[in-house]
Amino acid sequence: MRLRKGVHLPSRRETVIQGLVPDVWPPGLVRCRLDRPYNFVVSGLPATESGEVLEGLSGSEHEDIVRVRRAQSGLRAIIAVHSTLLGPSLGGARFYPYEDEALALNDVLRLSRAMTQKAALAGLPQGGGKAVIIGDPRLVKTPTLLRDFAAAINLLQGRYITAEDVGTNQDDMDLIRETTPFVAGTATSHGGSGDPSSATAFGVVLAMEAAAARLWGGVLEGRTACVLGAGKVGGEIIRLLVQRRVVVIASDVDRTKAERALRIGAARVVDPRDALKVTADIFCPCALGGLLTEEVVPDLSFALIVGAANNQLARSGVADSLAEAGILYVPDFLANAGGIINIAEESHGYDQARAAQAVGQIRATTTAVLDRAELCGITPLAAAEELVAERLARARGSADKTD
């Protein structure tokens, strides 16, 4: 069933507020339009008894951007729906202590766009969306805050389905499920697919194997990999690589996670500040994004970069710099799609074997992207983006015919 496009709220007045966030927001419920660079055009609406603030914005690409505030629970969140062209948008809820709301907005815009790319490239009947909750989850995450977040998701009427991400977990999704049906990755006892970390890790290793076959004509055995970020996904990647007789150099800001990496077979641990200086065949970024910039590329000594982190490139032009340096970069939204592929299987009634088979297609997709890049003389990022654009164009054409 196609979901209707958006919830349109009537406006009573309009005014332009320069800058990202004014000191005092109008009370009640407001919708906004996002003007570049991040200016809000605010439409005021009658105040709500709950005192919540909900603002919807639309950027040049995004269908909907919603900013939520609930004073009582301390909730500050932004939900971005990038595209519902292929189906309801799906993407995790990231709970992170952003320094300011400008950084949070920039992150959710980029992350939601990447989710559209993941879903389209994987052939899923899903669109791309994402949510960010601002704050340190260790300090401010409460059941009341999560219920308020779930209530905001309900207001989007199924256009956005949430799941776990950095700072949230399966228990949080189970709690959110009490308020909204628009959540995935809940416990298998609730009919969900559970924690998607292992599926994400498995997909990354499959992409790594496909790229290794292209580069070296063989398997991963005997290669050296530096894995930055040894959390749930990174730790599982380390385990899978050790199984494949890869020499793993692990790195994490959390000493406990770094020590665990050693226990599961990592050869050694390095400080995260030195991870990019390591000499290894493969670099596997599994922490937060934006690490790879034009400035760091000349000093890298890796032959292959493939990892689980989102938005690994600070900007898309870094892909060209990596290619010029002779480094093969597998696009993040290709390699780390295992989680969304696994979760998308819930719509059919989750079956673990079928989900694993679907995630297994990442190897073939990686090979297809590398083939296209080589044939066309472009970067793998450009090749993957072309395939995404082609699928979205076909879907748009079909939608136009039906209208």
CA distances from 260 to 221, 235, 255, 272, 354 (A): 22, 8, 9, 15, 31
- The answer to whether 35 and 10 are in contact (CB under 8 A) is no
Mutual angle of helices 361-376 and 352-359, in 10-degree steps: 10
Q: Return the structure tokens found at 305.
A: 């970069």
Whether 232 is a known active-site residue: answer no
Q: What is the DSSP string of 127-183?
A: EEEEEEEES-HHHH--HHHHHHHHHHHHHTTTSEEEEE-TT--HHHHHHHHTT-S-B
Q: Return the structure tokens found at 372.
A: 């296209």
Helix (H) and strand (E) counts for the chain? 13, 15
Query: How far is Cα 318 from Cα 46, in angstroms, rounded to an integer?
Result: 46
- The answer to whether 247 and 262 are in contact (CB under 8 A) is no
The alpha helices in 217-337, defined as continuous H runs, are 232-243, 255-263, 318-324, 332-335
Query: Which entry of 118, 130, 141, 257 is annotated as an active-site residue?
Result: 130
Q: Return the structure tokens found at 152.
A: 């905001």
User: Hey, which residues are catalytic here?
Assistant: 130
